[in-house]
Structure 1
Amino acid sequence: MKSAQPDRADRGRFQLRLALLVALGVFAQESVWNFHDSQTPVTLAQYTTSVALIGLIMGLDNIIGIFVQPLMGFLSDRTRSRWGRRTPFILIGVPVAALLFVLIPLAPAFPILIAVIVLFSLTANSFKPVTEALIADQQLPQHRSKGNALGRAASSLTIIVSALLSLFVVDESVELAYIIAAAVMVGCFAILVFTLREQRTAGYLAVVDEDREAGVEKPGFFAILKEIVTDRDRSRLFMIAAIIVTWGSWAAIRALLTLYGVEQLGLSRGDAGGFTLPAGVAFLVVVIPVAILSDRFGRRLMMRLGIIVFALGALIAFAFNTSSTATLIGVLVAACGFAGFAVNATVMLWNLAPSQRLIGIYTGIFAVAQAIGSSAGPATVGLLVDATDWGFLMLFLAGISLVGLLLTFGVRREYAPEQLAEATFVEAERAEIAHADEAGAKQARVEADRES
């Protein structure tokens, strides 16, 4: 049996071109989601004055995602077609989601608007895990942190795109702004699909070869979930729990930071809301270096260090909880720390999957853990603040994040040995593809010489 840590001498190459292409797909889907979160509440407010109802409708996408994303990831894992296993879902889902998105500001009545939003959320959630699974499909296990970091960076850039659309287009034409966002999504996905050509990639060909050699019946959806729960090695369960808790801390700081600035620091709503921009920039700056360090020194170490830095940032803000400057510094430190966890959390689940053929459903499982944390985190911290005072917010965040740190110590390995064995299939396919391309180019040169 192979060791859990791959030999440094046999690390293969990071596929930068493929990583950038997949990051383009992540950018495409997240640009629409960010604009949806920014502007659709205003559209809903034209029909209702209930903030609770607006919040409920806008939260439906998380609820839908909990059920849809694991299932669609599972279905894409089992798909083999002339377009690959992920691409068919993108080819069907993206145009439908784009059309539904464009219809949101055009809905003539409130019930129709709700129906369009629900259908959009259902469709967009159906290819979200499929797109993200491509990150793992196209990289060897030891290089997935860098691929995921590029995806996270692309996702962060969509905040800027959404803000620019809001600033320069929305006041002129809301409908045009939705059309532009949808067109960006379709255009980027078209580049991804027709440039990547998944059916010819080494990752897909290796999966097909493994199907042929293994000849093992593919496990069902619930059998996969049962295997995670009943496995004597609890690494995956602890990793899922760590994602819920740590992502909940990050979601809480994002959701409650503006209100904290108003209530605790006495800032205006606009000034308090400005805390999130520097934090987003800090995350964007450190995400790539964190990925490189993770591939070099190990993902568990970088996750744990990231959580510790997050907790230190929260404690800085708590220690000087009447200073807006100290709060800003604390939030910046916390954002840099969270990058260490965010870059590696998905990758840890990918690499702990017993086979590369199950990457899609493990992407969906991550999405469920993330959604649970994003919902439970702000609610839990809010209850603690209600029971005490706003001055303790940052202390609660530090404490909860340290619970996440403790959970990571239950993750006893970084790789499933089966996936390290499967990586040899991918490397073999890449070598074969490169040899075939080289032979084809040589033959073309010979024929050209003959003609001349």
Structure 2
Amino acid sequence: MIITCKKKVPFHWIAFAILPWAAFSFKGGVIGTGFIFSLKKFVENPAGLTFILSLPSFIALVLQPVVSFLSDRIWTRFGRRKPFVGTSFFGVTTAMVLMPLMPNFWTLLAVYMVYSVFADLNSPMEPLKQEIIPPAERGRATAAMSWVSNLATMTFWFVALGRFDDVHYMGSLALQGETVIYWSGALLMLTMGLLITLGIREVDQKSPLRGQRLTVRTFFGGLLDRELWPVYMLIVGAACMNFYAGLGALSNLLYTDQWAYTKQEMGINVAAGGIINIFAIAVLAIFADRFNRMRAYQTLICLSLLGQIFYYCYIEFILPDKHPTLVEIIVFGETLSILGILTGMVYTPLVYDYVRRNKMGTYNAGAQMVTRLTVLLTLNGVGLFVWGYATFFQPPAGEMTRIVLRGGDQNNETEVLNLLKKSEWSAPQGGASIVSLSDLTANAWQANGTFSDVGRGWEIRLRNKDSAKLAAEKEKLEKQRLPLVSEEKMLLDKAASLALTGNAADAEKATREAAAVKARRVPIAEQIKAIEGELDTRAQVFHSQVQRALGERLMTEGEQITGARMQTAMVFELPVVDRPDVKLLEQSLAELRRERPEVIDLRPVKLNEGYTVAVSVLVAPGREDAALVADLQPVVERLILQRQTKLVVQGQAPRNVVRQQALTMELIVLEEPLETYVSPITRVVNLGLALFDRVPAPDRRLTAVARNLRISSDTNHVRVQAGPAPKTIVVTAVMPAEAGAMAATDDAVSRRLGELLVEPSRQEWLPWAKGFHDRIEVAAATQKITIAHPVLTTGYAVMKYDYMSGYLWMFVMSLIGIAITIAFSRLEARGLVRKYGLEEAQAS
């Protein structure tokens, strides 16, 4: 049994006192991150999201301070703080069990508010912890608390978050990853609630405040105690810097919506930093109680702000696509995380140095009020700032078309906008003409996100509030339809299961219930389809006006193929003694192509017994097969043996030497196919990586495209490389032995290929070549390489949000917080603020 208010305590008491913070961290991940994705099913606008997330602050603004205030002034046989803490844990557990079961926005919001009420009852938990841990141990205890919190956070991000969208079926029961995550958090909170209720005994401090009635006068009189109000300055400063570790809730949307990382990738990123933190915290804990806390705190918050400013500038002004890699996110995140851990180690003990034990609850009440008021400003402020920034500087919601212009990178934004504004425009939904040409925007577009004001591809948008209203209506209907789809499927699965067990009556009943649900679903689906049709029609009307405005500047279909030819290729196989390592074989292939540019590919071949390596090469006119094999075989064997030393027995006779046709196609793309830009952090990481592995090659995306194009029964030998002209690629593939029975198509791409492959003997290959062209387009898109077309896409587009803009708001608030902290330290230097808590502990 742990007893409070001891001058010295064993370490396992400290460990027990900080253990609940592991549950808080996992629960914080569930509510702080998981709930965002649950809520985003119903709300898209970032200002709306942040407003809903701030609603608990209005309750907490009253409830948390009252609970903390009362915890200094009551006494029960269970203690003065435990009754509130125990009730909180069990209430939060119940709410977290219910959250993933809520079918719509209003029920989810109601349970979220109930959760928030019970969570606010937990406010005396911090004073309870401080009463268990003496002041001399609080720095190390904070470090240990950071360690267990980090472990729980790492578990959530690495193990749990990536499973959020998973669905597993147990018979007719669908078990969702979202539900499992919420219930896991509930189980942890229940366990911690039992441990606190049964494992801690509070000592009666005979507080002179006991029995004081809760009135407006006593409440605010206690909060404005002359010893406490100066400390609130520190709290305001810390609350202003609430985002020193990121953008709060919007950080999740920055990762998933703007940077297009999956929840699992986001979890791996946080978990990777967490693994480092496990060791970092252990080292930092050694120094936790050795700093001048105020000086260290001021230094750390300034370093944190500078780190965030550098991170913002690095992304916005150094990375061409403003999209950091996971490695870059981890490097910056871990640096800022260590600063955050150090700040927490210093800050928590620092504020309690100024507060007596019997005023900890009262101080906590005032601190919570001040924090909540400040966070209301910062949280809602960042959401409104991001929304306002998007309104003024980001592409608007409305009709959108992506097109490709002739002239390559000679097209610039000003020229394109001038061409558009010279034309006459009318509203896509009919009616009056567009009044303001400022509703038109044109931005250079590339699939990899590279920002530029020049380029081939352009995204042209029209701000249309009427279409935005239609899209919002569609979204609302979709949220009504999806639960009905799930309910109908579960009922049909239930009916099928009952039918298999011979329970025909219940199966019939379930089928009727499913039919009733379908009757409700179908009209909603028809309304959605009608809205989609109207939005598509408007988009096509808008595109036709864009097409008229740009005229001959638009490229035509087929122009993307700048060259196509058929050549003779030879394929031969070299016997090997074991299964080739494909990764090492690709490295050998890269070197082989540098030495012998005519080589197409190097592929492992599985035989009935054993393996061979097939080599494909373009054959120059008049070259004999035997001479070419004799010339090329030693080079291939040498390069393979450099990485797989026992794979090849040199000089063995090659097998299956055959000649086949190869097709080479040169295509225009919108993006730079080679990764020519290497960011500063990536350069540093590559220096370390080079000691253990091959540094990623500039043509790695083209290698991946070739990998996606290989089909063993059709095109097993493929080479993709950057073309001679800027932003072009050249694809060479060994063609199958026969063209196959493929129907010819009369389209622009087929006609263009027919112009380039003019020999009569090659006309039969046109359907195959057209199909291969389409496969190239799909394979290239997986690597964010876009084959040019006059029209890439047309439709309704939502407003784009730049969540990174929220950092600008954060910087301003952080500067205010730092100024307040400096002002506090000057008051202390003048003797207007004293460390009453530390003096009390030293005197006892």
For residues 208-223 of structure 1, the aligned pairs below 5 Å read 208=206, 211=207, 220-223=218-221
Q: 1:349 is aligned with what amino acid?
A: V
Q: Scaled by the length of structure 1, what TM-score is found? A: 0.72
Q: 1:190 is aligned with what amino acid?
A: L
Looking at structure 2, the residues matched to 16 and 376 of structure 1 have their Cα atoms a distance apart, in angstroms, of 40
Structure 2 residue 11 is matched with structure 1 residue 16: yes
Deviates further, 412-421 or 99-108:
412-421
Residue of 171, 194, 198 corresponding to 1:190: 194
Match of 2:129 in 1: 135
Match of 2:149 in 1: 155
Residue of 89, 99, 103 corresponding to 1:104: 99
For residues 235-384 of structure 1, the aligned pairs below 5 Å read 235-252=230-247, 255-256=250-251, 259=254, 267-270=259-262, 285-287=279-281, 289-290=283-284, 292-318=286-312, 320-321=314-315, 322-323=318-319, 324=324, 329-353=331-355, 355-377=356-378, 380=381, 383=385
Q: 1:335 is aligned with what amino acid?
A: S
Residue 393 of structure 1, CA deviation: 7.1
If asked which structure has higher relative contact order (CA below 8 Å, sep 6+), I would say 1
Residue of 52, 60, 74 corresponding to 2:55: 60
Looking at structure 2, the residues matched to 342 and 326 of structure 1 have their Cα atoms a distance apart, in angstroms, of 24
Looking at structure 1, the residues matched to 360 and 289 of structure 2 have their Cα atoms a distance apart, in angstroms, of 19
Retained in 1: the 8 A contact 2:232–2:370? Answer: no
Change (3 A) 1:373 1:333: farther
Q: Scaled by the length of structure 2, what TM-score is found? A: 0.41
SS of the residue 2:247 aligns to:
helix
1:220-256 alpha-carbon deviations (Å, 9 max, x no partner)? 321122225xx6x974143123212222443537735
Q: Which has the larger radius of gyration?
A: 2
Match of 1:411 in 2: 824
What is the percent sequence identity of the aligned residues? Answer: 18
Residue 103 of structure 1, CA deviation: 2.0
Retained in 1: the 8 A contact 2:269–2:330? Answer: yes
Residue of 76, 79, 101 corresponding to 2:74: 79
Change (3 A) 1:183 1:320: closer
1:394-419 alpha-carbon deviations (Å, 9 max, x no partner)? 67756654543333233345984543
Residue 61 of structure 1, CA deviation: 3.0
Retained in 1: the 8 A contact 2:381–2:809? Answer: no
Retained in 2: the 8 A contact 1:146–1:292? Answer: yes
Looking at structure 1, the residues matched to 44 and 255 of structure 2 have their Cα atoms a distance apart, in angstroms, of 23
1:175-231 alpha-carbon deviations (Å, 9 max, x no partner)? 454333212211122123322x223xxxx34x23xx37x999699321122225xx6
Looking at structure 2, the residues matched to 404 and 316 of structure 1 have their Cα atoms a distance apart, in angstroms, of 19
SS of the residue 2:75 aligns to:
coil
Match of 1:438 in 2: none
Structure 2 residue 841 is matched with structure 1 residue 423: yes
Looking at structure 1, the residues matched to 114 and 256 of structure 2 have their Cα atoms a distance apart, in angstroms, of 36
Change (3 A) 1:63 1:308: same
Q: 1:351 is aligned with what amino acid?
A: D
Looking at structure 2, the residues matched to 167 and 251 of structure 1 have their Cα atoms a distance apart, in angstroms, of 20
Residue 122 of structure 1, CA deviation: 0.6
Q: 1:68 is aligned with what amino acid?
A: L
Residue 347 of structure 1, CA deviation: 2.9
Match of 1:25 in 2: 20
Retained in 2: the 8 A contact 1:305–1:337? Answer: no
Retained in 2: the 8 A contact 1:153–1:284? Answer: yes
Report the count of equivalent residues: 398
User: Greater strand share, 1 or 2?
Assistant: 2
Could you list the runs of 5+ residues in structure 1 that have no partner in the other structure? 1-10, 428-452
Structure 2 residue 171 is matched with structure 1 residue 171: no
Retained in 2: the 8 A contact 1:27–1:158? Answer: yes
Retained in 1: the 8 A contact 2:353–2:836? Answer: no
Residue 335 of structure 1, CA deviation: 2.4
Match of 2:446 in 1: none
Residue 372 of structure 1, CA deviation: 4.7
Residue of 112, 115, 138 corresponding to 1:117: 112
Q: 1:138 is aligned with what amino acid?
A: I
User: Greater helix share, 1 or 2?
Assistant: 1
Could you list the runs of 5+ residues in structure 2 that have no partner in the other structure? 1-5, 169-174, 395-801
Retained in 1: the 8 A contact 2:142–2:344? Answer: no
Looking at structure 2, the residues matched to 397 and 285 of structure 1 have their Cα atoms a distance apart, in angstroms, of 29
